[in-house]
Chain A
Amino acid sequence: MILIHINNIPQSLTEPTSLAAVILGQNIALDSVAIVLNAEVVPRNRWQSILCQHEDKLELFSAVAGG
């Protein structure tokens, strides 16, 4: 069992899962968010190739463009 945290909410994964698959599993469109993985922004091009590890902390957020 792999336990991760998405925006401080615990979530368990039954098998190694990519960042992209985790986001899609949340019903979130890949082109609508950015990901911070363990306090580091992960460029979108790497989401398919990075598998979540036990105790990973993910933060998902959308772009804010107002000013």
Chain B
Amino acid sequence: MPNMSTNKQLYNGETVSGKTLSDADFMRYSRQVLLPEVGEAGQLQLADACVAIIGLGGLGQLAAQYLACAGVGNLILIDMDKVEVSNLPRQLLFNDGDIGLNKARVAKRKLNNLAPHCTVTAHETAFNAETHADQLADVLLAKQQGKRVLVLDCTDNFATRQSINRCCIEAALPLVSASIAAFSGQLFAVDQMQLPSGGCYQCIFPAQTRVSQSCGTQGVLGSSVGVMASMQSLVAMQLLLSMDSDCDKAQNSLLGHFWRFDAKSLVWTSAALTRDPHCNVCGSKELHPSFNMHSKLHSMEI
């Protein structure tokens, strides 16, 4: 039913009355729009959403494709690494001709072809204390505008994962984190605004935790990475779509859980996350809604 208007109420109290999907978008996204959990309103919400994907390796390159092609309107891609030949068996967005080029830049170019309506911004820099304010400025701005936002941790090392977690807590951004090495995958979603009792990554693995598992040292099968990236994308899609009152139950069942995947037995195990009251990231201090976006965001506010 093309150009059917809707008055479905959004999570922030506004409606999308008057906004409609174009005929072309109805055709493109018809299999999603058919789902009652999506519908035209959900598809329009996706078009407004802004998602930061940190790390464009095995996880990030696939999550980026799923989200862009599903109609997420704005993607922020962050990775300083270059495509290497050893990436190609599992990072299917890249090919031999991309070797030596920055992953975020290549991903942006390819996503522009796959999903021309998605606005992709590439940051060819590492994620750290010096860079994250600039990298996440667009996400923070979208959040201030009442749009749906999300951060996906698709990185390959523990220190950066700690840094992303801290940043998301301080900026009150929802985080969906996936990881994989050898045959072990881990996945969780936390949102300090929606479910503070779920705690954060630091509550599970404090910063001084000894970590030995990485793809570079232990190896991994591309299909195992794909499973984790698909699940991460699925959680992301549901969080982006389910913040209205109709879907609270579904959303709450995804936040505050820690899933582990055994890629040998194909068994998933779920556990509830609990906040550590003494956590030095999320436990002892108030949220910082005025997260110091000193560069881009402040200039836009002026």
Contacts and interface: CB of A to CB of B under 8 A. Distances in A.
B276 A44 contact: yes
Contact of A66 (B179, B206, B275): B179
B60 to A, nearest CB: 7
A63 B218 CA distance: 13
Interface residues of A, number: 21
B214 interface: yes
B59 interface: yes
A65 B258 contact: no
Interface stretch (B109-117, B153-161, B294-302): B153-161
A41 to B, nearest CB: 5
B58 A67 contact: yes
Interface in A18-67: 29, 31-32, 34, 36, 39-46, 59, 61-67
Interface in B199-228: 199, 203-206, 208-216, 218, 220, 225
Contact of B213 (A42, A45, A59, A62): A62
B73 interface: no
B178 interface: yes
A67 B224 CA distance: 10
A67 B155 contact: yes
A29 B220 contact: no
Contact of A67 (B55, B211, B272, B274): B55
A62 B181 CA distance: 11
Given A65-B156, A66-B215, A67-B215, A31 B208 contact: yes
A67 B158 contact: no
A65 B214 contact: yes
Interface range, B side: 35 or more
A67 B271 contact: no
Contacts, number: 98
Contact of B270 (A39, A45, A63): A39
Nearest to B63: A67
Contacts of A36: 258, 269, 271
Contacts of A44: 206, 276
Nearest to B55: A67
A42 B271 CA distance: 10
Nearest to A45: B278
B181 A66 contact: yes
Given A32-B209, A39-B271, A41-B273, A67 B57 contact: yes
B142 to A, nearest CB: 24
Interface of B: 55, 57-60, 153-158, 161, 178-181, 184-186, 199, 203-206, 208-216, 218, 220, 225, 258, 260, 269-279
The 5 lowest CB-CB distance pairs between A and B, nearest first, are A43-B276, A66-B181, A66-B215, A65-B158, A36-B271
